[in-house]
Chain A
Amino acid sequence: MKLSRDGIGGLVVFAGSLVLIWMTLGLKDNPLVPIGPGFYPRIVIGICAVLGFAMFVNDWHDQRKAGPAPAKAPRDGPSLNYTLVGLMFAVFAVYAVALPFLGFRIATFAYVAATNALLAPPTEPKHWVRVAILALATAFLTHLLFENYLSVLLPRGRWTGL
């Protein structure tokens, strides 16, 4: 059975909805109120399950009707750089984890430097200087502006106290 991304997406939504519906079955109704905590979630998740299943069936039907897939035509324009996207998410995840330990200024400096270097890899020493200036300026100016002028508190580092 061949499925496109729609079919796979529909199947994931359907399976996820079934798990959530099963979880709502454990929610007990309260005799004091006419509708329990599981009433609305069951309706919404049920609709989600039906729609996910419809998406899957729709796609399965379309794929059967279309027959064997023709050879993939070459993509117009540059190829998509998913490795870079993956790295961007990974660096952001490290930033999110490091923030409460290193504090806003140090973590942000490291994050901006890493992301900037990832997106435009420095090849000469002056490029590294540019990366450092951008990271420093972002970390310290945002901290100064938000903490001192806009009264917005930013994360403090458990390890650094900054």
Chain B
Amino acid sequence: MFELLASGIANIVQFKYLIPLAIGSLIGVVGGALPGITITMTVIVVLPFTFGLEPLQGLAAMIGVYVGGETGGLITSCLLGIPGKPSAVATTFDGFPMAKKGEPGRALWLGIWASIFGGLLGAVVLVGATGPLAKMALEFGPWEYFSLFVLALSMVAGLVEASLVKGLVAGAIGLVITVLGNDPVMGKPRLTFGIEFLEGGVPFLPVLIGVFAFAQLMSEVERMGGGRDAFAAVDRAVNLAVSHFKVIGEILARPILLLWSSFIGLVIGVLPAIGGSAANMLAYDQAKKFSKHPEKFGTGIPEGIIASESSNNANVAGSLVTIMAFGIPGDAVTAVMLGALTIHGIQSGPLFILQNPVLAYGMFAAYIVAHALVLIILWIGVRWMLRIVTVPKAALFPVVLVLCVIGAYALNNTMDNIYVLLISGLFGYGMVKFGFPLAPFILGVILGDQIEINLVRAIMTDDNPWLFLTRPISGGLLIASVLSVALAVWQHRRQQRKGVAPAQDDVDF
């Protein structure tokens, strides 16, 4: 394993991989720092650029975006009090007060160094656990895969805070999208409405791009026009000088906080589609609960920044574990990566590491090296970041949408994908307006085909339906699915009894 990792690092530091990784990291930092542009949006923008690259070059660029984005999000959180992305919300609670107290450099660099430490702790698990988990998954038959995918979907639907039923409906709609097109056994057209293009099924990447790009950009557009410029009064020449030894010492003096927050981030990353937005809030909440002085949280103390930032970067490693070991995207960013793998003809899932060790260990190496690159980028460029993030959205949004069009069109050079993009965009925006979460929908679209194929395969192997329950792993996974939904129902009821209104915010997807 260490030999493969060392050769992966030797591979990734070659110019042909290092340049896309560095560019991806830079774009990620900027995208993460731009309020209103999430990492998902940034990785969607980068996607078309990866089509003409080698698989590892493209994936390295995406990993760079992911790591850079998670770190970059803290810039505006600390300096402007506006989170650059949902997974930096908790950073705002203490980062901004610390900056307002006259220590913007300390707030910023506490966050950056905590991100780096959290991310590297995540790397230990990513490298150490992905292979054994994939080996375990190799023992799975179609029953187990079917149950695993059902568990992933039920967990996502259940973890959506706004409404359990809406989460389940969104997941079911995603599954329905995948039944359009020829059936996987005999290739017979079904529910194609006479449209020839639909016979091949609905391509998931244009759907994913359309849903996220339009849902997010249009939600920003509806607030535009007539409002005051949020950046009008920004002091772009803020002094960020700080002693790095002192900042690193402050973080390392709190090892339990760092380890526990990174662990939370990792676990949440491994769970499908929950993402960094939940990780940073949960880590912050835990840090506050275990603190000797919880009343100081929110006043600008380092613990709040360390907890939030270490957890959201460790979350990236967790998401990568899930996609590399099981082929299940941990969040929207890894869902786009899954699409990129498919475009290059690479099958994700447990066989991925065995069949593509160079690529897999190249990805691990890219993840580790990306942290160093992000650190260098921020070291050199953090003073200019406030100028960059204040770019007008009126100029940014049309360019982003043009890149989305290229991303959809270039999948197989057909205009139909652009029409799918537009329809998905309308649909995604409609879902947001009706309060449906996007996470279960997208997971349904991604996993639908696999659920059907494994269900059919299982029944064609043995038509005894009880095998789904009597095979130990499959049965265990199905019981876990039921338990996750039951737990969600219990939590919703408890919240209702307490009179707490559920949050309407979507998870990271």
A-side residues, CB < 8 A to B, are 5-6, 8-10, 13, 17, 20, 23-24, 27, 30, 32-35, 37-38, 40-41, 44-45, 47-48, 51-52, 54-55, 58, 77-78, 80-82, 84-85, 88-89, 92-93, 95-96, 99-100, 108, 111-112, 115-116, 119-120, 134, 138, 142, 146, 149-155
Within 8 A of A (CB), among B219-276: 221-227
B174-204 near A? 1/0 per residue, CB < 8 Å:
0110010001011010110000000000000
Residue-wise, chain B 387-419 has the 8 Å CB interface mask toward A (1 for contact) of 000001111011101110110011001010011
Q: Once bound together, how far apart are the Cα atoms of A100 and B222, in whole Å? A: 29
* Size of interface on B: residues with Cβ below 8 Å to A: 65
Across the interface, which residues of B come within 8 angstroms of A54, CB to CB? Answer: 165
Known: A44-B179, A152-B406. A81 touches B401 (CB 8 A): no
Chain A residues closer than 8 Å to B401, beta-carbon distance? 92, 111, 115
Give B299-317 interface residues, CB cut-off 8 Å to A.
none
Q: Given A34-B463, A54-B165, A84 and B399 touching (CB < 8 A)? A: no
Q: Could you name 18 residue pairs across A and B whose Cβ atoms are closer than 8 Å?
A: A5-B433, A10-B165, A33-B460, A40-B452, A40-B456, A41-B191, A48-B175, A48-B176, A81-B224, A96-B422, A115-B397, A116-B394, A119-B224, A119-B394, A134-B398, A142-B402, A149-B52, A150-B53
Residues of A within 8 A of B113 (CB): none
Q: Is the CB of B53 within 8 A of A40?
A: no
Chain B residues packing against A (C-beta within 8 Å):
48-49, 51-53, 163, 165-166, 168-169, 172-173, 175-176, 179, 183, 185-186, 188, 190-191, 214, 217-218, 221-227, 392-395, 397-399, 401-403, 405-406, 409-410, 413, 415, 418-419, 421-422, 425-426, 429, 433-436, 448, 452, 455-456, 459-460, 463
Determine the distance from Cα of A150 to Cα of B421 in the docked complex, in whole angstroms: 22
Sample of 11 further A-B pairs with CB below 8 A, known A116-B395, A138-B398: A30-B185, A34-B460, A40-B183, A40-B456, A48-B173, A55-B169, A100-B415, A111-B401, A112-B399, A146-B48, A155-B409
Contact assessment for B419 and A96 in the assembled complex, using a CB-CB cutoff below 8 Å = yes
Q: Measured between alpha carbons, how far is A154 from B254 in the docked complex, in Å?
A: 53
Determine if A112 and B429 form an interchain contact, defined as CB atoms under 8 angstroms apart: no
Taking a contact as CB atoms closer than 8 A, the residue among A34, A82, A138, A154 that contacts B459 in the complex is A34
Most buried by A among B169, B410, B421, B456: B169
Distance in angstroms between the alpha carbons of A34 and B168 in the assembled complex? 29
| A32, A96, A138: most-surrounded residue (chain B CB, <10 A) | A96
Contact A58 B165, CB 8 Å, known A33-B185, A41-B191, A146-B406: yes
Once the chains bind, are A153 and B222 in contact (CB under 8 Å)? no
Q: Which residue of A lies closest to B165 (CB)?
A: A55
Contact A9 B398 (CB under 8 A): no
Q: Is the CB of B425 within 8 A of A89?
A: yes
CB distance from B252 to the nearest CB of A (A): 42
**Chain A residues with CB under 8 A of B405:** 95-96, 99
Are B227 and A37 interface neighbours, CB within 8 A? no
Closest-CB distance, A24 to chain B (whole angstroms): 7
Interfacial chain A residues near B425, Cβ < 8 Å: 89, 92
Which of chain A's residues have a CB closer than 8 A to the CB of B214? Answer: 89
For A40, what are the chain B residues with a Cβ–Cβ distance below 8 Å? 179, 183, 452, 455-456
Contacts of A138 in B (CB 8 A): 398-399, 402
- The one of A30, A84, A151 in contact with B222, judged by C-beta atoms closer than 8 angstroms, is A84
Chain A residues in 8 Å Cβ range of B419: 96
| B49 close to A150 (CB less than 8 A) | yes
Contact across chains for A111 and B398 when beta carbons are under 8 A apart: yes
Closest-CB distance, B146 to chain A (whole angstroms): 11
Q: Which of A9, A45, A88, A150 has the most CB of B within 10 A?
A: A88
**Known interface pairs A40-B455, A78-B226; A23-B191 also in contact (CB < 8 Å):** yes
Bound complex: CA A92 to CA B401 (Å): 9
Which residues of the other chain, A, contact B185 by a CB distance below 8 angstroms? 30, 33, 35, 37
Look across to chain B and name the residue whose beta carbon is closest to the beta carbon of A10.
B169
Q: Are A9 and B402 in contact (CB under 8 A)?
A: no
Q: Taking A9-B436, A55-B166, A120-B394 as contacts, is the C-beta distance between A152 and B402 under 8 angstroms?
A: no
Find out whether the CB atom of B221 lies under 8 angstroms from the CB atom of A81: yes
Q: How far is the CA of A8 from the CA of B430 in the complex (A)?
A: 12
Q: In the complex, which of the residues B165, B175, B393, B421 contacts A119, with contact meaning CB atoms closer than 8 Å?
A: B393
- Contact present for B190 and A37 (CB under 8 Å): yes
A51 touches B165 (CB 8 A): yes
- Return chain B residues, CB-CB under 8 Å to A81: 221-226
The answer to whether B413 touches A153 (Cβ under 8 A) is yes
A15 to B489, CA, bound (A): 25
Smallest CB separation, B428 vs chain A (Å): 11
CB closest residue in chain B, given A80: B222
- In whole angstroms, what is the CA distance A157 to B191 when docked? 32
| Chain B residues whose C-beta falls within 8 Å of the C-beta of A20 in the assembled complex | 176, 191
Q: How far is the CB of A26 from chain B (nearest CB, A)?
A: 9
Complex alpha-carbon distance, A88 and B183, angstroms: 36
Contact flag A152-B52 (CB < 8 Å), given A38-B190, A116-B398: yes
The answer to whether B223 touches A99, judged by C-beta atoms less than 8 angstroms apart, is no
Cα–Cα, bound, A51→B172 (Å): 8
B433 contact set on A, CB distance < 8 A: 5
A78 to B224, CA, bound (A): 9
How far apart are the CA atoms of A40 and B413 in the complex, in Å?
Answer: 31
| Closest residue on chain A to residue B415 by CB atoms | A100
Q: Is the CB of A85 within 8 A of B406?
A: no
Residues in A with CB closer than 8 Å to B403 are: 142
Q: How far is the CA of A81 from the CA of B434 in the complex (A)?
A: 17
Q: Do B221 and A85 touch across chains, with their CB atoms under 8 A apart? A: yes
Name which residue of chain B comes closest to A9, CB basis. Answer: B434
Best-surrounded residue of A149, A151, A152 (most CB of chain B within 10 A) = A152
B52 touches A150 (CB 8 A): yes
Neighbouring B residues of A10 by C-beta, 8 Å: 165, 169
CA distance A33 to B218 in the complex (A): 46
Contact of B223 with A6 in the complex, beta carbons under 8 Å: no
